[in-house]
Amino acid sequence: MANTYHQVYLQFVFAVKYRKAVINNEWKSTLFGVMGNLINETGCKTIIVNGVEDHVHCFIGLKPTVSISELMKTVKGKSSKYINDHSFTSSRFEWQEGYGVFSYSHSQIHAVYKYIENQEQHHKKQNFRDEYLDFLNKFEISFDERYTFEDLI
């Protein structure tokens, strides 16, 4: 639509099912590239995709006509299919159900980019569970910790 302008920056955070450490350095850059392309194919703009062996951060510019839930359904579904089709893991790969999504202003782009870019350094000091709970608390998001993480039984 003419005369429609937008500036919506979102960070998505989601984990491998049961937080298994299976995203391997040998193929993770390929995976992150695939995920970035999936985001771009929706009309959104990938700013950075990065993560470590058990979770991923996607920082994007959201196109307002794109549903957040449909975007994540596409990215998580097609990326897990890609991993399985290429036999990157020894067993069937799945993402954990759900995700965190956090919004940012234009002035925060550089800081969020650097934070995501430096995930490996960051996770030498803090595990994913604590990082994720910190996000939920920082953004004052109500949650029930019993349903935040799906543990292997």
Give the mean pLDDT of 16-33: 96
Question: Is residue 4 a part of any domain in this protein?
Answer: no
Structural domain boundaries enclosing 111? 9-140
Give the mean pLDDT of 117-132: 94
CATH number of the domain enclosing 131: 3.30.70.1290
What is residue 1's predicted lDDT score, i.e. its pLDDT?
59
Question: Is residue 151 a part of any domain in this protein?
Answer: no
Question: Is residue 153 a part of any domain in this protein?
Answer: no
What is residue 33's predicted lDDT score, i.e. its pLDDT?
98
Question: Is residue 31 a part of any domain in this protein?
Answer: yes
Residue 93 has pLDDT above 80, yes or no: yes
Question: Is residue 46 a part of any domain in this protein?
Answer: yes
In the chain, the number of structural domains is 1
Residue 150 has pLDDT above 80, yes or no: no
Question: Is residue 130 a part of any domain in this protein?
Answer: yes
Q: Which pTM was predicted?
A: 0.93
Residue 152 has pLDDT above 80, yes or no: no
Question: Is residue 2 a part of any domain in this protein?
Answer: no
Question: Is residue 145 a part of any domain in this protein?
Answer: no
- Rounded CA-CA distance 51/116 in Å is 7
Give the mean pLDDT of 119-128: 93
What is residue 153's predicted lDDT score, i.e. its pLDDT?
53
